[in-house]
Amino acid sequence: MTTSALIDFLDRGGAALWAIALISVAALAVTLWKLWRFRADGVWTQAAEPALASWAAGAGAQAETAARALRDPVGRVVSAAMSARRDPGLNDAQAREETERVARAHLSRARSGLRVLDLTVTVAPLLGLLGTVLGMIDAFQALQTAGSTADAATLAGGIWEALLTTAAGMAVAIPASVALTWFESVIERLQGRMEDAATRVFTTGADGRGRA
């Protein structure tokens, strides 16, 4: 589709279709950005496993040094848990609270941008419906003006143009909903991995030895 054809198509749907097009661009940009951010942050990596294995084996200092070099969210939480657990100035409750604070910060970062997709899922179909209603109003006003000389083909053309916005709104909202659901499932799994890793740290002593 050429640029002029695309503009003509959007003009047929009116302001509502233009708004839906802008929202779709924003949703696509956020989706691509989140995919890049998840990959860059190492959301799917298992880099913390060697550090956790060293910790479980009793090499607390070595495990903490390895964890500090990690840059993925789970690794950061593991590093925070180990540092807090080995800090003599923190009791168990304070160490857990510090670990939870770090985990919440990384989960908040992982959720950034999802509100745009959530808004797209909600607003795009409503804009489509609004555009259709306004288009139908225009079509029936034209029919009333034409009276008995009204052309059925012209009326039908006005109606299908009005329905364009509803179809466009659904076409934008459906993939945005799929992307949002998938991102949320990734974050949910990430949270579960953080909780599991932190539990593995806190079920051993501050120096990496098992509790008595």
Q: What is the pLDDT of residues 120-155, one digit of tens each?
A: 999 999 998 888 888 777 777 766 676 666 565 555
Give the model's pLDDT for residue 210.
47
Mean pLDDT, residues 17-35: 93
In sequence order, the β-bridge partners of residue 56 are none
The domain locations on the chain are 17-37+47-202
Residue among 97, 52, 96 at smallest CA distance from 74? 52
Residue 76 pLDDT > 70: yes
Percent of the chain with pLDDT over 90: 55
Give the model's pLDDT for residue 208.
53
Residue 182 pLDDT > 90: yes
d(CA 39, CA 16): 35
Give the model's pLDDT for residue 162.
73
Tokens of 196: 């599991």
Q: Count other C-beta atoms under 10 Å from residue 158's C-beta.
A: 18
pTM for this entry: 0.83
Give the model's pLDDT for residue 138.
73
Residue 157 pLDDT > 60: no
| pLDDT band per the 50, 70, 90 thresholds, residue 206 | low
Give the model's pLDDT for residue 164.
84
What average pLDDT does the structure give for the chain? 85
Q: Count other C-beta atoms under 10 Å from residue 6's C-beta.
A: 11
The 10s digit of each residue's pLDDT in 54-69 is 998 888 888 989 999 9
